[in-house]
């Protein structure tokens, strides 16, 4: 069954470079990478009373794109309760009614409120995740960037084993639970989290030099860092810096992270993080 928006909700799209809101072409070849779907609602009350939950759930299952909500609001802000309510549904950005697009999208999408939770939500729409696996995934995603900052002057303590020791968790136990759920191993989450946090840091601060992040993550040169991001997320650093949203990155990471799966389960062959 093809999805149709609830009467009070209008869905349109914003494509890179995020300059204009366009009509959504449902008969086209799909959404461009980095696109954002914008849900327009006449008012907060009508948004809540409409079938927006069904609309958001269907969009998130069918598309790996960020969702934004735009409501009439004279001062361009939304009450906290509305942000919390919408975020729990899966909406990750909020646009003011004054026509501004790029700046608000970058503000919200480069600063996810709960990156680990967003990542788990995306996976759960496509694959079962136990409570135990979710706990380890959240710890890895939340701690990977802080560990990179802490260990940047200690290159000998930057790998997965040192990271698990820093967290006080068992790498072996984490690997067991993730494998039991048919999920990528901890080294894949660790590698993806480090690189994803790096991309978001570059988006948040246009003045941040790629060489600084390259050294922080202990790559020999910016080209090596960019190639690694391209391999894992399918975009070079210049491109990744321009394209907003984490959902398309989750999808690309998932393809990379599951590439070593064998018919009998996850390959035990270790790859460098």
Give the pLDDT of residue 28: 56
> Are 79 and 172 in a shared domain?
no
Quote the pLDDT of residue 261.
59
List phi, psi (to 5°) of 158. -130, -5
Same domain? For 67 and 102 the reply is yes
pLDDT of 170 > 70? The answer is yes
Average pLDDT of the segment spanning 167-185: 96
Structural domain ending residue among the three candidates 109, 125, 151:
109
Report yes or no on 1 lying in a domain.
no
Residue 19 sits in the same domain as residue 53: yes
pLDDT tens for 237-261 read 999 999 999 999 999 999 999 996 5
Which pLDDT score, from 0 to 100, does residue 159 have?
86
In a domain, 242, yes or no: yes
Strand 36-40 relative to strand 66-70: parallel, antiparallel, unpaired?
parallel
Residue 57 lies in a domain: yes
What mean pLDDT do residues 218-222 have?
A: 92
**Structure tokens, 157:** 């303590």
Contact criterion met (CB below 8 Å) for 98 and 76: yes
For residues 44 and 82, the answer to whether their CB atoms sit within 8 Å is yes
Residues 37 and 127 in one domain: no
Q: Which value, to the nearest 10 degrees, does the dihedral of the CA atoms of residues 229, 230, 231, 234 take?
A: 120
d(CA 177, CA 139): 14
Domain boundary among 52, 79, 109: 109
For 67, residues 6+ apart whose C-beta sits below 8 A from its C-beta are 36, 37, 38, 39, 56, 59, 60, 90, 91, 92, 93
Of 92, 109, 126, which residue constitutes the final position of a domain? 109
Domain contains 176: yes
Which residue has tokens 């840091």?
A: 201
More confident residue, 265 or 202: 202
Instruction: Mark whether 143 and 240 lie in a shared domain.
Output: yes
Asked if the structure places residue 40 within a domain, the reply is yes
Strands 21-23, 10-14: pairing is antiparallel
Domain hosting residue 71, numbered range:
10-109
pLDDT at 52: 84
Task: Please count the structural domains in the chain.
Answer: 2
137 and 101 within one domain: no
Same domain, 120 and 105: no
Region 29-49: what's the mean pLDDT? Answer: 79
Average pLDDT over the chain, rounded to an integer: 86
**Residues 247 and 171 both lie in one domain:** yes
Tell the burial category of 141 from Cβ atoms under 10 Å away from its Cβ (0-12, 13-18, 19+).
Answer: buried
- Give the pTM: 0.87
Structure-model confidence comparison of residues 267 and 149, the more confident one: 149
Give the HSE-up count for residue 208: Cα atoms under 13 Å, Cβ half-sphere: 17
Could you tell me if residue 5 is inside a domain?
no
Is residue 213 over pLDDT 60? yes
């Amino acid at each position: 069954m093809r999805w149709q928006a609830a009467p009070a909700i209008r869905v349109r799209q914003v494509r890179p470079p995020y300059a204009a809101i366009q009509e959504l072409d449902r008969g086209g070849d799909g959404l461009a990478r980095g696109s954002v779907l914008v849900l327009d609602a006449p008012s907060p009350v009508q948004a809540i009373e409409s079938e927006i939950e069904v609309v958001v759930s269907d969009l998130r299952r069918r598309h790996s794109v960020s969702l934004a909500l735009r409501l009439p609001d004279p001062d361009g802000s939304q009450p906290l309760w509305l942000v919390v309510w919408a975020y729990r549904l899966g909406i990750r950005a909020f646009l003011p009614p004054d026509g501004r697009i790029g700046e608000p999208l970058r503000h919200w999408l480069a600063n996810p409120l709960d990156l680990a939770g967003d990542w788990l939500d995306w996976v759960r729409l496509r694959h079962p995740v136990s409570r135990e696996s979710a706990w380890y995934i959240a710890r890895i995603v939340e701690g990977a960037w802080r560990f990179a900052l802490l260990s940047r002057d200690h290159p000998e303590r930057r790998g997965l084993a040192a990271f698990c020791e820093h967290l006080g968790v068992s790498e072996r136990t984490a690997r067991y639970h993730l494998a039991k759920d048919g999920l990528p191993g901890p080294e894949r989450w660790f590698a993806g989290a480090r690189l994803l946090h790096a991309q978001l840091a570059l988006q948040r601060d246009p003045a941040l030099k790629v060489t600084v992040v390259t050294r922080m993550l202990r790559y020999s040169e910016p080209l090596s860092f960019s190639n690694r991001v391209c391999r894992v997320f399918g975009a070079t650093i210049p491109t990744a810096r321009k394209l907003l949203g984490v959902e398309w990155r989750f999808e690309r990471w998932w393809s990379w992270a599951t590439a070593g799966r064998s018919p009998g389960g996850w390959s035990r062959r270790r790859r460098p993080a």
